[in-house]
Structure 1
Amino acid sequence: MPITEKYQKSFTHLNRAPGRVWTPATKKKAPHKPLLLLALLDLFAQGHIQTNFIELTPDLSDLFTLYWSRIVLPGQKSSVAFPFFFLRSEGFWHLVPVPEKEQVLASTKSISTVGQLRDIALGARLDDELFALLQNENNREMLRAALITAHFSEDVHPALIEQGAVNAEAFDYSLRLYEKAHGKIGDKEEKYKPAVRDQGFRRAIVNAYGHRCALCGIRMLTPDGHTVVDAAHIVPWSESHNDDISNGMALCRLCHWTFDEGMLGVRNDYTVITSPLLVRNTNVPGFLLNLADRPIIGPPERDLWPALESLVHHRKRFRLRS
């Protein structure tokens, strides 16, 4: 049997548990494995996987979650660790044990969190033949079509195909934002769908700041790779139509809201301003008051720091005194 046909068959006949919780959209079977494989195909297309070793990265978790949200009912959640572990039953997916945990991994029957999986597995390795196959775009698209056709109803095929296209364009957009920040490309106007722009801007900002809030410094990732920070525009998109990395900061949810409301700002020397509004009425701002005059935590690359003109615009808008 030709190699392409072998793995097309493997991707088409994944072992999936049936259950009442699953809708006709997933053919009344668990969608975890095909969704993880769709996310994996995206990472190969983006050039993230250069060697035959698959890690549980935030990027993989984000892509899995994006596909999940397109076809699973709101409120149903799952961990990327679940299919990452159970794909080992398919024959082409081989978990790599943590040293001295080989027997523990072999005897483990089920896991439900990334933390549990990381205790016993470093990641996964594909069949060498499959890894070589995935280097080719045509092969990836053939396997993508096999996953979507075999495991999902026709009415959700367009949503899954669209999500794959959005993921690819958002990755390209985030690269363009980096190239522009480093002066490698100009200001040529290119139109992107809102979903592409939002995802690409978020990826660029969150990665530039290393998942750390520029104002308070908090950095937290859930075991599944979900981050505490948002990608915040300094001058709102509605006013500026500007997704430059220098018009953004990674901010935790509290600092994001407080910044957008004009109760926090940043001076031209990159120190934090706190507004008197923080302590108005019955406010109890807690640690936010301690941010006054502290330097922000910017990206390691100076080219990616906030633009002074954006910070000035924000201060003027809210009449923040430097």
Structure 2
Amino acid sequence: MNSSQIIDSLISLNRDINPNIWDERTKTGAPHKPLLLLSIMDGIENGWIISSHFQFSDSIGETFFDYWENLFDEKRETSIALPLYHMKSEPFWKLIYKQGENEFTYSPSLGALLKRVESFEIDQNMFQIMSDPSENKKLRFLLFENYFSDEIAIRLTKTQELITKSYSYSNSLLGMVSDPFYLDHNDNPLKFSTVHKPIRSKGFSRVIRNNFNDKCAICGDRIITPNGNSLVDAAHIIPWSDYKNDDPRNGLSLCKSHHWMFDNFMLTIDEYYKIKISKYLDIPDNIISGLEERKGKKILLPDNPNYYPAIEAVLLHNKRFKEVHEKWY
């Protein structure tokens, strides 16, 4: 496709036009395709889409739903499978099916789609244009102008800025592991405490969840919903409020229950990364399924040893765990 054809295709996307479902915010049309294209442009800009031929990733899903949730004031459910599949009606998009798999004759769920589809491909010339920062910006403007109200365009622009800054923050955190770990970052020249909280929270969460592959370090559970939500949180080993420390080595990926228990000193880990459990959990009225058999076992660790939890942080949490229990018993 040449530049003119690419622009024509982007301003004439095939989408559901229904004023009974979609209002003036999306110019009475479904916003799924424009939002997916914005997400792909973010991926190209931030370096997690490096080719016109790419696979679905958690980053695509996360970014799409960042836009989706900031688009609407009310809660609306959807699936990213809709634009991933229906974009095939556009001349710049291809579904690459796995060998031996039949093409869909219906709109599939995300799980069904990814079982049959190996990857996705956009037109090579479109990819090259999107890879140019100034052209990328122009294409964003086209999408905003054609598919969203002025108010929503401003809102989505702010969302895109948050996404970009959070990826930049994530990259700065990943670079920290090449230096020695130290606990207190209140006087850190990177001035983490001055970073806008949504950027900091999102950037730290992404790093920790990726390092642990979205699995809970205690129980190993992993769930990512079709709308991009993860079972796990990014937990600080030593509190942010005290140490301003977003070093990846001060993080654990924990499910909601184990995050609460870790923060409330119902469990900790020792210098060998083995799980220690509070005696308080032995009280008969407390019911914690499956935790007792994990006592003394090693937590799940990142694949890359450079991102293992820092022993200094672990020992400080362990010390606080002991101090709390000395008061209780």
Shared topology, TM-score over 0.5? yes
Deviations 1:49-86 (A, max 9, x none): 22221311111001001100001244311111110111
Check if 1:167 corresponds to 2:168.
no
SS at match of 1:132: helix
Please report how far the alpha carbon of residue 110 of structure 1 lies from its aligned counterpart in structure 2 after TM superposition: 2.0
Q: Cα–Cα, structure 1 residues 280 and 304, in superposed 2: closer, same or farther, change >3 Å?
A: same
1:206 and 2:209 matched: yes
2:65–2:227: 8 Å Cα contact kept in structure 1?
no
Q: CA 1:73 to 1:22, structure 2 compared with 1: closer, same or farther past 3 Å?
A: farther
8 Å contact kept, 2:65–2:228: no
Note the C-alpha offset of 1:222. 4.0
- The 1:278–1:68 alpha-carbon spacing in structure 2 relative to 1, beyond 3 Å, is same
Q: 1:196 and 2:195 equivalent? A: no
Residue number among 302, 305, 310 corresponding to 2:305 in the alignment: 302
Partner of 2:12: 13
1:47 aligns with 2:47: yes
Query: Residue 99 of structure 1: SS of its match in structure 2?
Result: coil
Partner in structure 2 of residue 119 of structure 1: 115
Aligned to 1:64: 64
For 1:1-322, what aligned pairs fall within 5 Å after superposition? 3-19=2-18, 20-101=20-101, 104-105=102-103, 108-111=105-108, 113-183=109-179, 187-190=188-191, 191-222=194-225, 226-280=229-283, 282-318=285-321, 319=323
For residues 24-49 of structure 1, give each alpha carbon's deviation from its aligned partner in whole angstroms, at most 9, with x where no partner exists: 22122111100111100000011222
Q: Is the 8 A contact 1:4 1:139 kept in 2?
A: no
1:225 deviates by: 5.4
- Using a 3 Å threshold, how does the CA distance of structure 1 residues 282 and 184 change in structure 2: closer, same or farther? closer
Deviation, 1:230, is 1.3
The answer on whether the counterparts of 1:33 and 1:87 sit within 8 Å (CA) in structure 2 is: yes
Does structure 1 retain, via aligned residues, the 8 Å contact 2:34–2:143? Answer: yes
- Greater Cα offset, 176-185 or 92-101: 176-185
SS in 2 for 1:258: helix
| Matched-pair contact (CA < 8 Å) for 1:273–1:320 | no
Q: 1:270 to 1:184 in 2, by over 3 A?
A: closer
Q: Which amino acid aligns with 2:189?
A: K
Deviations 1:252-295 (A, max 9, x none): 12211111121010112211110012233611112112221111
Deviation by residue 1:130-173 (Cα, 9 ceiling, x = unmatched):
12222211111111111112111111222100111111111111
My pick for the range that moved more, 151-160 or 11-20, is 11-20
Q: How far off its partner does 1:320 sit?
A: 5.8
AA partner of residue 56 (structure 1):
F
Q: 1:260 to 1:184 in 2, by over 3 A?
A: closer
* Structure 2: distance between partners of 1:96 and 1:302: 35
Distance in 1 between residues matched to 2:180 and 2:245, nearest whole Å: 17
Unaligned runs of 5+ in 2: 183-187
Q: Deviations over 1:178-219 (max 9, x none)?
A: 111122999522432111111110111011112221112223
How many matched pairs? Answer: 317
2:215–2:221: 8 Å Cα contact kept in structure 1?
A: yes
